[in-house]
Structure 1
């Protein structure tokens, strides 16, 4: 692996792409500390310290702490992700979007344009929601979070947060086009990893005060390494369905006749299910921060991570969204039709509907295994926090994102080096990404 890193410096284009990526990520992290005007930062930090375990805490993690500081990047990249997911869902029900998705590069550019418009619209809506919500917040001493409430503050906040999200979206697209890796994923990755130093310092503070033993710290580190290895193993896992193509004679040439396979990933849906599940379950706890309604407070207390109902609903929603999102992004009927069009078939299966039913049956079975795997990874940190009372930072959705993005980025770097006949990170085989 050391030789692989040394070979990066020998490829000017790859070195330039990595440099651009690091520079743009540094710009993102600098912007995450530029505050929005008119905010009492101390009162806001005190409010967010009590908002852990809610949607606010989840969004603050994805934004790298920008939301708790209400910086210009407070909304982070979540509006873009939400707009992308909404467009994917609408592609199934709106024929125009479905046609665009099948038109190749031109159609994808049009859908990307719609996604940008949707991102700006969601940013404006969320900006107004945050501005109105902040005006009613107070710190522990009763001090107002907003120093000068009113429409001037609301408009400035909406314009600032929307412009910040649009700029982050542009940064992500520039990283994807001119840098290395997926820009949007790397921005989320940078936001999550930015909290690692504080989590490490908090662990050592607990060790110094005697609240955590050295044996427990070593045990947690070993467990974290094992969980990361387990995630890498499962993310690379796939079921390969063999496919054969019949020989075709075109003029004087013979085409086809080769054997290939359909790689079905164990976790086709990625990190979308835990994000959706967390958002739904944390919604009552988020509402409880703004409204002092008895039944809302009661429901919010039952849906805290230390309650059994939270974990039960969390696992149930993860399994549901694993199947739901897999059904959206992977259509066995389309795969079967494409195979039939080009003369491909699965041995022992008739082309057309029987092939689609077989692929759907196999996909349903492995999706159950993937859903259980995602549930275990997401619930494990909650159990550790309950039992050992420690700040177990890398866990759940954050851990899936960090490991998955790292694998994707390494796979792209590996591909660049191997295409130029340089040794990659691994002497045998190659690093395979999630896609």
Structure 2
């Protein structure tokens, strides 16, 4: 009843309804383009060859682009070059004075940074498209020839087409963010992951029906999956509230302040960005190694860094912990929070304003970020353990935990919160809570 009422309320708000329809339309365009095969590629041959690579980095990359890579689609690169460029620009913003200056220039600085990110996206897309063209043209990559007529013309076609498609997907994401609902880049990644869920679910239950698994064990696995999803939701929305007291001020005949508010410090302040950043970095070795499909040394390194290996899990988990702290430091600045509190006449009970308040907030942030970062890392590498010890199919294991589940939960909650904000602004109940809006505002 509550869900049906919320859906009816969405239909009553023309602006929100148009935003949702616009978002769905652009996501449909993205999914439609992911089924268009690159010219010069035998689609049937690449589909059959991709089945043998479902448990390596090829299959993991294909998961993020919704099967477009396995189909040799024009959207094979998806939005990952843009993510990689964003990581590089944000890293430069942390260590380069020029980018730090741009970050402080307001809207003009953000526009310049966005433009540099777009240029970086084109450069990375060209390099990755070149690697894709080499892999497609080499029979050693797939065990069979999937390009009937490889040559320089095929390479140029693939590079130009995949680069232009990546720019188009980036434009779709920016338009969804601007005129739709939710973060467009994150939604494109999420919809690509969700597109593989029905196929993974069917493959898992097919293995049970064939007798390779016990139904009782499968039910236990599904129960564990529900528990992990609940834990991820709790981890995503969990907060530590820091009390802030405002001193009373008399302005004319009115008294201001004297109330207690809270600073909501999330356990996972960085959200899904550390997962996306770390995953994009882990794709880079595979892209580099794709240029040497016939080199035995390079291919042995590729097997060592396969996403179901222990080395990959260790490196991936370490990167997630690092990027969690890195992105938290960018998203939440204790010194700015302390300065804002002091200007507004607020203070934390028992802590002196200024530097002491900044150090107090930074200490709390460091403590609550550590368990959040470790939890993210454990959940991200969980599919590796499930595939090796629980005999879960690789495709289904990605939804049991790992990057896929974290992105789906994080992006889904963020999108629902944006929808709810539109509903609450117009005095309707949202998805996340029950009760009347007026009563929540009064409390």
- Normalised TM-score (structure 1): 0.89
User: Following the alignment from structure 2 to structure 1, what is the Cα–Cα distance between the partners of residues 109 and 256?
Assistant: 29
Match for residue 190 of structure 1? Answer: 191
Residue 397 of structure 1 corresponds to which residue in structure 2? 403
CA distance in 2, matches of 1:101, 1:282: 28
Once the 2 structures are TM-superposed, how far is the Cα of residue 414 of structure 1 from its aligned partner?
Answer: 1.2
Q: How far apart are 1:288 and its partner, in Å?
A: 6.1
2:81 maps to which residue?
A: 79
- Give the Cα–Cα distance (whole angstroms) in 2 for the partners of residues 28 and 284 of structure 1: 27
Q: Is the 8 A contact 2:47 2:70 kept in 1?
A: yes
Q: Residues 337-377 of structure 1, C-alpha deviation per residue, up to 9 Å, x if partnerless?
A: 33334443322222332222222211111111101211232
| Counterpart mapping for 1:3-152 below 5 A | 3-138=5-140, 142-143=144-145, 145-152=146-153
**Does 2:391 match 1:406?**
no
Shift of 1:227: 1.1
- Is residue 235–residue 266 contact of structure 1 (8 Å, CA) maintained in 2? yes
- Match of residue 203 from structure 1: 204
Aligned in 2, Cα 1:334/1:205: closer, same or farther, shift over 3 Å?
same
Instruction: Flag the 1:55–1:279 CA change in 2: closer, same or farther, 3 A.
Output: farther
Corresponding residue for residue 434 of structure 2? 427
CA 249–37 in structure 1, closer or farther in 2 if over 3 Å, else same:
farther
Q: Are the counterparts in 2 of residues 380 and 396 from structure 1 also a CA contact under 8 Å?
A: yes
Q: Name the residue aligned to 1:433.
A: none
Q: Larger deviation: 284-293 or 224-233?
A: 284-293
Cα gap change, 1:95 to 1:141, in 2 (>3 Å) = closer
What is the CA distance between 1:427 and its match in structure 2? 1.2
User: How far did 1:63 drift?
Assistant: 0.8
Task: Measure how far apart 1:300 and its partner are.
Answer: 4.5
Given that residues 18 and 180 in structure 1 are in contact (C-alpha distance below 8 angstroms), is that contact kept between their aligned partners in structure 2? yes
Measured at CA, do residues 32 and 282 of structure 1 come closer, stay the same or move farther in structure 2, by a change above 3 Å?
closer
CA RMSD after TM alignment: 2.8
| 1:55/1:279 contact within 8 Å kept | no
Pick one of 354, 368, 375 that aligns with 1:373: 375
Matches of 2:218 and 2:38, distance apart in 1: 38
Q: Measure how far apart 1:258 and its partner are.
A: 4.5
Q: Is the 8 A contact 2:56 2:308 kept in 1?
A: no
2:362 is aligned to 360
Say whether the 8 Å CA contact 2:243–2:260 is kept in structure 1. Answer: yes
2:160 counterpart of 1:159: yes
In the other structure, the counterpart of 2:441 is none
Query: Where does 1:209-248 land on structure 2 (aligned, <5 Å)?
Result: 209-246=210-247
2: CA distance, partners of 1:309 / 1:178: 42
In 2 relative to 1, CA 344–103 (structure 1 residues): closer, same or farther, beyond 3 Å? farther
The separation in 2 between residues aligned to 1:118 and 1:299, in whole angstroms, is: 27
Report the 3-state secondary structure (helix = DSSP H, G, I; strand = E; otherwise coil) of the residue aligned with 2:245: strand
Aligned to 2:53, what secondary structure does the other structure show? coil
Q: TM-score, normalised by structure 2?
A: 0.87
- 1:91–1:314 CA distance, 2 compared to 1 (3 A): closer
Distance 1:186 1:207, change over 3 A: same
Distance in 1 (CA, whole Å) between partners of 2:251 and 2:135 is 67
Runs (5+) with no aligned partner, structure 1: 431-435
Change in Cα spacing, 1:303 to 1:324, as seen in structure 2 (3 Å) is same
| Map of 1:317 onto structure 2 | 319
Shift of 1:17: 1.4
**Cα 1:176–1:190 shift into 2, 3 Å:** same
Show structure 2 runs of 5+ residues with no match: 438-443
Shift of 1:186: 0.9
For residues 337 and 172 of structure 2, what CA distance do their matches in structure 1 show? 34
Q: Which residue of 2 aligns with 1:168?
A: 169
1:307-333 CA distances to partner (integer Å, 9 max, x unpaired)?
544444443333233223323333323
Given the superposition, is the C-alpha separation of residues 276 and 57 from structure 1 closer, same or farther in structure 2, using an over 3 Å criterion? farther
Secondary structure at the aligned position of 2:147 is classed as: coil
Deviates more, 1:261-270 or 1:402-411: 261-270
- 1:264 aligned to 2:265? yes
**1:287–1:296 contact (8 Å) kept in structure 2:** no
CA contact (8 A) 2:84 2:277 kept: no
For residue 211 of structure 1, report the CA deviation from its aligned partner. 1.3
Alpha-carbon distance in structure 2 between the residues aligned to 1:205 and 1:400? 26
Q: Number of residues paired by the alignment? A: 429
Q: Distance in 2 between matches of 1:250 and 1:99?
A: 38
The Cα of 1:237 is off from its aligned counterpart by 0.5
Note if contact 1:282-1:303 (Cα within 8 Å) is conserved in structure 2: no
Give me the whole-angstrom Cα distance separating, in 1, the residues matched to 2:103 and 2:58.
33
- Contact 2:429-2:435 at 8 Å conserved across structures: no
